[in-house]
């Protein structure tokens, strides 16, 4: 119980003030964000802020039901980081070097409990505001008996500039959170990847910060 209290305090006193004050979030289509599980949120990944921002969209009483799926080799390599990741963030650690049959066992158990999984299909953080190659892990996770699980796509833009990969300095920066309409996985992994890439592309067109960056770039070229 005290662990859940610490988690609520962390998001209430640290994460939300940062999100509301330091970052200017443009959130669109929040009504499509799954309120209950089982469900999966798939988002692009440029920054450690991605997870915190997405989790902060949920009521404090429900944050413990949002479970980021994260790389065990990164988040469990040190005791302090492992404790924080497992207990305060509530990650489901995934061993990326072990492709055994039970790779998604903890993910399946979480879905069966009605949790909402948060997955970054690029696999790891890419360069700021650039979409890396998508992987089919979500399809493999859901294809056997869970193909009707809602999958909600989310496009994030700007967070890769606010806290880029490899840095610890938070920079105030306007950011977009564009939520797409939930769908279910298609029959093949390849079809899923192509469909998701197209969805991310369409959602990115709604990003105000993307258009601002393009306008600034055009203005500099004109000068």
> Is the model's pLDDT at 41 over the cut of 50?
yes
Mean pLDDT, rounded, for 25-51: 92
Vertex 207 angle, CA 204 and 208, to 5°: 155
Residue 210 lies in a domain: yes
CA pseudo-torsion sign 187, 191, 196, 202: negative
Q: What is the pLDDT of residue 211?
A: 55
CATH number where 78 lies: 3.40.1130.10
What integer pLDDT is reported at residue 220 of this predicted model?
Answer: 42
**So what's the pLDDT on residue 196?**
94
Q: pLDDT per residue over 119-171, tens digit each?
A: 999 876 666 666 778 988 899 999 888 999 999 999 999 887 777 666 666 76
Q: Which helix (H) or strand (E) holds 24?
A: strand 24-28
pLDDT at 222 over 70: no
Q: Say whether pLDDT at 221 is over 50.
A: no
Q: Is 60 exceeded by the pLDDT of residue 20?
A: yes
Please give the average per-residue pLDDT across 53-78, as a whole number: 92
- Across all residues in the chain, what is the average pLDDT? 85
pLDDT of amino acid 218: 42
The SS3 of residue 48 is coil
Q: Kindly list the strands in the beta sheet with 116-119, ordered across the sheet, starting from the edge strand earlier in the chain.
A: 24-28, 174-179, 151-157, 39-43, 116-119, 66-71, 92-94
Answer whether residue 27 is part of any domain.
Answer: yes
* Residue 216 pLDDT grade (very low, low, confident, very high; cuts 50, 70, 90): very low
Is there a domain that residue 150 lies in?
Answer: yes
- Domain of 70 in residue numbering reads as 2-218
Question: How long a stretch of residues is the chain?
Answer: 223
In a domain, 205, yes or no: yes
Distances (CA, A) of 120 to 51, 147, 217: 9, 18, 28
| 51/43 Cα distance (integer angstroms) | 9
Mean pLDDT of 35-56: 91
* Domain-located, residue 165: yes
Residue 223 covered by a domain = no
- pLDDT for 99 equals 63
Question: 102 pLDDT band (50/70/90 cuts)?
Answer: confident
pTM of the model: 0.88
pLDDT score of 112 more than 80 = yes
pLDDT tens for 72-101 read: 888 888 899 999 999 999 999 988 676 666
Total number of domains in the chain: 1
Cis peptide before 123 (omega within 30 of 0): no
pLDDT exceeds cutoff 80 at 190: yes
């Amino acid at each position: 119980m005290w662990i859940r209290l610490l988690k609520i305090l962390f998001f209430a006193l640290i994460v939300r003030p940062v999100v509301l004050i330091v970052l200017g979030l443009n959130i669109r289509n929040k009504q499509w964000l799954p309120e209950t599980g089982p469900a999966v949120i798939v988002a692009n990944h440029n920054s450690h802020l991605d997870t915190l921002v997405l989790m902060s969209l949920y009521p404090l009483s429900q944050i413990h039901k949002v479970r980021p799926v994260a790389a065990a080799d990164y988040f469990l390599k040190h005791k302090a980081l492992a404790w924080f990741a497992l207990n305060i963030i509530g990650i489901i650690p995934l061993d990326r070097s072990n492709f055994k049959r039970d790779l998604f066992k903890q993910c399946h158990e979480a879905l069966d409990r009605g949790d909402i999984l948060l997955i970054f299909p690029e696999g790891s953080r890419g360069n700021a505001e650039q979409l890396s190659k998508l992987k089919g892990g979500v399809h493999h996770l859901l294809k056997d008996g869970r193909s009707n699980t809602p999958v909600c796509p989310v496009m994030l833009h700007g967070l890769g500039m606010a806290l880029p990969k490899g840095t610890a300095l938070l920079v105030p920066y306007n950011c977009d959170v564009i939520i797409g309409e939930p769908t279910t996985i298609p029959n093949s992994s390849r079809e899923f990847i192509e469909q998701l890439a197209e969805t991310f592309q369409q959602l990115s067109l709604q990003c105000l910060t993307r258009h601002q960056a393009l306008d600034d770039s055009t203005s500099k070229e004109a000068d």
